[in-house]
Amino acid sequence: MGTVTISFEMTLDGVFDQMEHWFDENDPGLQRASDRLVFGADAVLLGRESYEFFREYWPKQTDDRGFAAHYNALPKYVASTTLTGPLDWNATLIEGDVAEAVRGLRDRYDSIISHGYGGLAAEFVDAGLVDEVHAGIHPFMVGGDGSEIRLRSPHPVGFTLLGVEAYESGIIAARYAPAPRHPST
């Protein structure tokens, strides 16, 4: 059975958006971590918003590492209640029960990556479908008025630390496994 890894980048105050202020795509440590994750994957799982954002960004990218070419070539599976198929960018719309579809994808692929930690990722963790969570924590606080997209979960979720890397830039890459859920949560 294949694995599902959720990966995301955020600020110290848990913000995912406004990346133009804090995300450093040229950080060598972050690039190495991304390379390990993406080059080791054979499928991508996305929600609608991530799909729409990445679909506009990644096909226009090139690099000498082959990262963009590899990422663009990976099969992508998109969970959405508002999109209709067929999709472009080597993507397939997941129809019906998303958790059941992910179980089927785990039978087909060795390593599936998903980006972002929103409602969809929380559902996957809750359903026991996530093996690892990779969080890139950037040394920046957005602050703001509450309209920012922040890390969230519909209920308490515990994690067990698997490893941490710190880069010269101050970015910390932490790897976690979802902890078993207690009956009271």
Q: Is residue 126 part of a domain?
A: yes
What was the pLDDT predicted at 67?
Answer: 94
Looking up residue 93, the CATH number of its domain turns out to be 3.40.430.10
Q: What is the mean pLDDT of the chain?
A: 89
When comparing pLDDT for 15 and 108, which is higher?
A: 108
Residue 154 lies in a domain: yes
pLDDT cut 70: percent of the chain above it = 94
Q: What's the pTM? A: 0.90
Q: What would the 3-class secondary structure string for the chain be?
A: CCEEEEEEEEECCCECCCHHHCCCCCCHHHHHHHHHHHHCCCEEEEEHHHHHHHHHHHHHCCCCCCHHHHHHHCCEEEECCCCCCCCCCCEEEECCCHHHHHHHHHHHCCEEEEECCCHHHHHHHHCCCCCEEEEEEECCCCCCCCCCCECCCCCCCCEEEEEEEECCCCCEEEEEEECCCCCCC
Asked whether residue 185 is assigned to any structural domain, the reply reads: no
184 assigned to some structural domain: no
- Split into its structural domains, the chain has a count of 1
Domain extent, residue 33, equals 3-178
